[in-house]
Chain A
Amino acid sequence: MDHCLRGIAVAPGAAVASLAWLDRSSDSAPAAFSPPTSPSSQREWLAAALSECQQAWSELTSTLRTRGDHDGATIFEANVALLDDPGLHGLVESYLVSGHKVTHAWAHAVNEQATALESLDDPLLRSRARDFRDLALEVQAILEGRSAVPLTASIPADCILVARRLTLPDAMRLDTSTLRGLCLVEGGGSDHVAIVVRGWGIPVVVGVPGLDASCTGKNAVLDGDAGVLVVDPNPRMLEQYQGRIERMQRFDLWARTWRRDPAVSRDGQPLKVYANVSAPTDVDATLGSGADGVGLLRTEFLCVDRSTLPTELEQTAYYRSLSQRLGKRRILVRTFDIGADKTLPYLALPPEANPALGCRGIRLALTRPHDLLFPQLRAILQGFAGNTARILLPMVSMLDEVVQVRAAGQAILEELDRVSVPRASAVEFGIMVETPAAALMIDRWADEIDFLSIGTNDLTQYVMAVDRGHTELSGLADAAHPPVLRLIDRVAKIARQHDIPLGVCGEFASTPVGVALLMGLGIDSLSVHPSAVPRTKALIRSLEREQVTRLARAAIDTHSVGEVYELLRQELDSDLWRDLLRSRPAPAMATTVDTREHSPYDQ
């Protein structure tokens, strides 16, 4: 009899497989283990256990860094450092001195410290306390003679893993190549573990009650879109899900095979698909993904993990190497988009009540031109020597901002020419359309702008007046709301009239709903995460420009986002699109420097 359990959807997709319960507490001490007894050997035992754990954790941190997850690595290191806390060790010592065994001393000292953090009623601290306890448990395991059983040994291949919870170190140790899905009893969507697992590409659902070891071996359907686990599904449901999974697999294979070809709609209309590059590691991914170019080069990563701003020389070297690797492909370089909410301590930016509405992006650059604006402009103009430099300005809300940057750019070009330094053969300036001001004024600004890129994430935030990181109101932070579509439509019309290339680089551009509507509104290009390029091209190829144009016009005329989705479901009713529309948009990939108010890497 099928048993349907509801939880919180964390990562999209569907899987049909047998369940395997993960139970770490069953790791038992080998019979021959006898712990040391004298106080000095107890201390040595603890030191040895700590050292072994530190070694393993430092390997995990390196893995995170090589994967490009610097934020994750930094926070993991900070958590690990807590285990060296002198207060903690002082407590352990006092337990040892009063005659307790080290296993007891460690457990109780950890518990006292963790409870002190939890008692402050601060959810972030509670989350930290849990991470602290998890790490301490690994030390505890060694103290009790339980060797850490390698996780992969205890998990069968091709299963849906079920557990009460997953510690961050365990999540990082899992061999995900044969894992079909993950289901946790505890947890919420924004835990650290949730962030890590989203990048795995398998369905993940958390907060599913009523599961325990007895579920092992049972057949199940895990639906990462609806947030549901169905144990022992009936044949009809199995058939439906299996059909869906097979269609998606065929679609993904088709997308991967043809990713290098230009994306052309079923009725012959081309649409360019570019990649968003956030860090040097993305360049390889971009080249392999089939992207037609770089629709957004985020430059903030040049500023993180250091104690001073990058110099003109450093920046020039980077832009030059990028320009060489990507050749004549179109590259839009966005100048530093930083503000008070980004953790760049060396800039000593005064705190703001509303960083999303504060001094950031081009505003900040214009208040600090000598350290933020000029060096970057000079570096871009030199780095792209022999090519066209396309400079994209973030957070523009006044024409004067563009005019000033153009003037500065012109002065720099003249100076470089005067001293015969090689520089870009052509220069274009474009703006991010992310403020409502920009969207409303494009017609008047057209003469000063060479290209446009709509940042749907921020634009939606400002138009719908919702914090894009807000959990309860996340339904408002959706670009499919008619007011946002109307603004995009307006910008698209004006861009066409003035022959200005128009792209979209927000999360919306890689979702099925977004691709359909944006194509229908007449956008020239989409810029997405490198891993989403093949799929985005495939989505374009599955649509007819004429049909989505009609769809978009109708969507703009609706009263609400609900009507928009209804229209999409009615019009796009192929088996493929029925499956695609069932999926929620994939959550944003964590970037190194993130504009969200509540970064998942908050400590």
Chain B
Amino acid sequence: MKTVRLNVLDRIGLHTRTATAIARAAACFEADIWVTNTNGKRADAKSPLALMTLGVKHGGEIELGAQGADADAAIDKLCTLIREF
């Protein structure tokens, strides 16, 4: 299992566009991938709706976690993606 903390820099945080982008990228991996917000609420990274319900705003901190065969690759890919927002 691997976890990483990062900030979502997109101007409006985790909304449709960013949530869909993360879900699409996460769907390519077998691992279980999740995102946790600062309130401890956890969402399946492959579900854009769940990501949107985390209420992550511009600059908000999230914890990205993955467990499974390609967990490391998943984390790397998603981190790169989120940092480019």
Give me the interface of A with B, judged by CB distance under 8 Å: 74-75, 78-79, 81-82, 85-88, 113, 116-117, 120, 122, 124-125, 128, 132, 340-341, 343, 345-346, 348, 350-351, 602-603
Contacts and interface: CB of A to CB of B under 8 A. Distances in A.
B84 A81 contact: no
B68 interface: no
Nearest to A341: B11
B20 to A, nearest CB: 5
Interface in B32-76: 44, 46-50, 52-53, 55, 58-59
Contact of A343 (B11, B49, B50, B55): B11
A603 B46 contact: no
Contacts of B84: 345-346, 348
Nearest to A602: B12
Given A345-B84, A348-B84, A351-B58, A87 B50 contact: yes
A124 B15 contact: yes
Interface pairs A-B: 9 shortest CB-CB: A87-B47, A603-B16, A603-B15, A78-B16, A85-B49, A603-B17, A345-B84, A116-B53, A81-B20
Given A78-B17, A78-B20, A603 B12 contact: yes
Given A346-B84, A351-B9, A85 B16 contact: no
Nearest to A348: B84
Contacts of B58: 351
Interface of B: 9-12, 15-18, 20, 23-24, 44, 46-50, 52-53, 55, 58-59, 83-85
Nearest to B43: A87
Contacts of A117: 49, 52-53
Contacts of B16: 75, 78-79, 82, 128, 603
Contacts of A124: 12, 15
A81 B48 contact: yes
A82 B17 contact: no
Contacts of B85: 345
B44 A87 contact: yes
A85 B17 contact: no
Nearest to B50: A87
B53 A75 contact: no
Nearest to A346: B84
A122 B55 contact: yes
Contacts of B9: 350-351
B49 A120 contact: no
Contacts of A81: 20, 23-24, 48
B15 A128 contact: yes
Contacts of B15: 124-125, 128, 602-603
Nearest to B26: A86
Nearest to A112: B49
Given A75-B16, A78-B20, A128-B16, A87 B55 contact: no
Contact of A351 (B20, B47, B59): B59
B18 to A, nearest CB: 8
Nearest to B81: A345
Given A74-B17, A124-B12, A603-B12, A82 B49 contact: yes
13 contacts: A78-B16, A82-B16, A85-B48, A85-B50, A87-B49, A88-B49, A116-B53, A117-B49, A128-B16, A340-B11, A351-B9, A351-B59, A603-B12
A81 B48 CA distance: 9
Contacts of A116: 49, 53
Contacts of B50: 85, 87
A82 B16 CA distance: 8
Contacts of B23: 81, 85
A120 B53 CA distance: 7
Contacts of B49: 82, 85, 87-88, 113, 116-117, 132
Contacts of A602: 12, 15
A87 B52 CA distance: 12
Nearest to B44: A87
A504 B49 CA distance: 45
A596 to B, nearest CB: 12
Nearest to A351: B9
B12 A86 contact: no
Contacts of B10: 345
Contacts of A343: 11
Nearest to A119: B53
Given A348-B84, A602-B12, A82 B20 contact: yes
A343 B9 CA distance: 11
B17 to A, nearest CB: 5
B2 to A, nearest CB: 21
A78 B23 CA distance: 11
A156 to B, nearest CB: 36
Which of B44, B47, B85 has the largest count of A CB atoms less than 10 A from its CB? B47
A303 to B, nearest CB: 15
B52 A86 contact: no
A191 to B, nearest CB: 15
A74 B21 CA distance: 12
Nearest to B17: A603
A50 to B, nearest CB: 15
Given A82-B20, A88-B47, A128-B52, 10 more contacts: A78-B17, A85-B48, A86-B44, A88-B49, A117-B53, A120-B53, A125-B15, A132-B49, A603-B15, A603-B18
Contacts of A85: 23, 47-50
Nearest to B84: A345
Among A79, A87, A341, chain B packs the most CB atoms within 10 A around the CB of A87
Contacts of A346: 84
Contacts of B11: 340-341, 343, 351
A74 B84 CA distance: 18
A307 to B, nearest CB: 9
A31 to B, nearest CB: 36
